[in-house]
Amino acid sequence: MVLQRLLRGQARPTVRGAAEAALWGLKSIKGSCHNFCTAAFKDVTYKELKNLLNSKKIMLIDVRERWEILVYGKIPGSINIPLDEVGEALQMNAEDFKQRYKEVQPSKSDSVVFSCLAGVRSKKALYTALSLGFHSAQHYAGGWKEWETCEFSEKKQGN
């Protein structure tokens, strides 16, 4: 619980928080949220994401809940790891990750992009990834809402 509040920016790291994280098998987040949340990063635009997906040079992780994916759809090529599971998933051993998510686990040097509905949860996932050493992580701030709008617009224009 402390770890979740820390990731939401509602708590500062404490010995108790680090101990709780250790009990869950998670690595402690060093320093305050401010230290990694203010790290410079660049949001990925719709066009950039589309090009990255076509090049197959990224792993796109949709952090919405599973029911949202089923009801509203997802960006083609994305995998679903709900926000509550991101920290644990990025620290799993490769075999467990493959079994649970049916994909090869990204390494800390891989390009990973997080998305959600409108950019709030993906930014939280980004902060988690950065704190765990995934320095090439980014997020798609437009999320599913922008993707769906842009895709509809492109299809309507015949692109």
| Nearest residue to 31 via CA among 17, 3, 53, 12 | 12
**Distance between CA 115 and CA 60 in Å, rounded?**
7
The counts of H helices and E strands in the chain are: 9, 4
Indicate which residues carry an active-site annotation: 116
Total residues found in the chain within this entry: 159
CA dihedral 64, 69, 72, 74 (to 10 degrees): 90
